Each structure stands twice: as structure tokens, then as C-alpha cells.
A = this chain, B = another copy of it.
């Protein structure tokens, strides 16, 4: 079960059930056991993005509770593939099908295309979603809700109340909450927070977090804004303002610990990330 977040360059995902063209600011999900090929939509355009694989369960929309029948990601905005039938049987071409079993990749060759499904019925199929269609809700009075309010899709685990993976986004929106601290506050999470940036500059970390980059805050690791952001947000006059225009940051959250690949440890770690949290003042004085 692959969750695909293109960040640069559009993809053409050909599957047995049809074709999905997926551009940055869209996401795609390919279910287990569906054969697919990922092509570049434009042959000379470099592509880059994020992929999350889960080994159990399926993504579903969160139960909206009092939000009601509409809001966040709406069912009607998810798109199934465009019909596609490939006629290539015994023409001499060779196809390699790669499967993953027990954590290993296996391949087999065949002399005909796997993309020759004439028709299908059901709802176990790849789909895509345009993140611009997300209807974000948030406080229109006071206080600062939990980031779960930005959940697009969730893959529940077997333990009620916990998720194998959540996908949340921080889309362009109005911020109008009063009597509160508007940026993401300091917190620790009971889940791993893997964050990526599709475009623009993330609202809570203007520097050092570039499109195509990623941050990982493991379970229980405290994190939050830097000293300047805290000073600014604590003194600003709170009128309605636009937030995140021109950007799209997202988060993969998981109740599992995540391991960082050796390749990433060698080439890309920001060694002085911790310095982002230097320079805080102590504002409270213990009464004598």
C-alpha cells in the first residue's frame, strides 16, 4: 500500500485499473497487489517526492464527528483512474514484474503487458486527490486546536485510537483565532512526525526546511518554534491573516518508530538543527 506525494515533476502512474496523472500538490494511493508502473509525465522533467508504505490496513477518511457530513477531504474529490487498455501480447516485447514478499523484491519476466484489463468493478483501486480541495476548519474564536484537525487520510492500527499512519497537511488558509499563540506550540507527540514540504516556505520554520526536504521528530521528542517566532507571536496583534499562501507542507504521522536510512544519515542530516531552539528566556520567576 503505497502513498505517493510528488514534490517536483508530474508522474503518470499506469496501473491495471487505469492511468493516474499525478502532479505536485496532488497525492496518490496505490493499493497492495495492484500492478503498476511509474512513468514521467514529461520525459525531460526531473521528478522527486515522498513515499510511505504501510504493511497493514487501508487509508480511510477520518470520522468527522461534529464537523458533520462535509469538510476536510470530501469523498467526491477523490479520483479513480482513467480507463486504459494496452494491446501488447506476443509482440516480442518483454515485461518485468517486481513483487515484494517478506521484505525482499522478486522479479519475473513475461511476454505480454500486465496492463490489459478490459473492465473492472469495485472500489479497491488506486486513487488520487488534489490537496487544494482540502476544506480546512479551525478555530474562529479562540484557542489553538490539535493538528489532527488537518488530517486528510488515516490508516488505523489494530489498537483502537491509534493509527499506523496519518496524512495531514498545512494548506493555505485564514488564521483568525484570538487570545492564543498561533504558531505550532512546543509539544511532544505520541507518534513519530515525519514532515515534508511540497512547495514554498513552511509557516513554522522559514529557513532550513526546503521543498523536497524532510524533518523527523521521533515519538516523545519535544519541538516547537524558535525564540524569535515565540517573541513575535506572543506580542502580535491578532487580526485575521492569510497563512501558508503559496506553500504546502505535510506530515506523515505514525505510532511506529521510524528508522532513518544509512544513505540519509550520510548525506543529508542537518547537524545543528538543535540550535533552532537556542536563546529562550525564562519568563517565570518562582515566588519566594
Task: Identify the closest chain B residue to A146 (Cβ).
Answer: B68
Q: A101 touching B257 by the CB < 8 A rule?
A: yes
Q: In the complex, which of the residues B72, B176, B282 contacts A89, with contact meaning CB atoms closer than 8 Å?
A: B282
A71–B143 contact, CB under 8 A?
Answer: yes
Residues of B within 8 A of A64 (CB): 65-66
Q: Which residue of B lies closest to A85 (CB)?
A: B286
Q: Are B171 and A174 in contact (CB under 8 A)?
A: no
Q: What chain B residues lie within 8 Å of A65 (beta carbons)?
A: 62-67
Is A96 interfacial (CB 8 A cutoff)? no
| Number of A positions contacting B (CB below 8 A) | 66
Contact A140 B66 (CB under 8 A): no
Stretch at the interface among A37-45, A129-137, A264-272: A129-137
- The reply to whether B68 and A145 contact each other, CB–CB distance below 8 Å, is yes
Given the contacts A140-B140, A141-B173, A171-B141, A72 and B62 also touching, CB distance less than 8 Å: no
A33/B145 in contact, CB under 8 A = no
Chain B residues with Cβ below 8 Å from A286 are 85, 87
CA distance A259 to B104 in the complex (A): 13
A30 shortest CB reach to chain B, Å = 12
The minimal Cβ–Cβ distance linking A219 to chain B, given in whole angstroms, is 7
Q: Which 6 A-B pairs have the closest CB atoms?
A: A65-B65, A68-B146, A33-B220, A240-B240, A158-B158, A174-B176
Besides A118-B284, A240-B240, 14 more A-B contacts (Cβ < 8 Å) are A32-B190, A32-B219, A33-B188, A66-B72, A66-B151, A67-B67, A70-B143, A70-B146, A135-B143, A137-B139, A137-B145, A138-B138, A141-B174, A174-B174
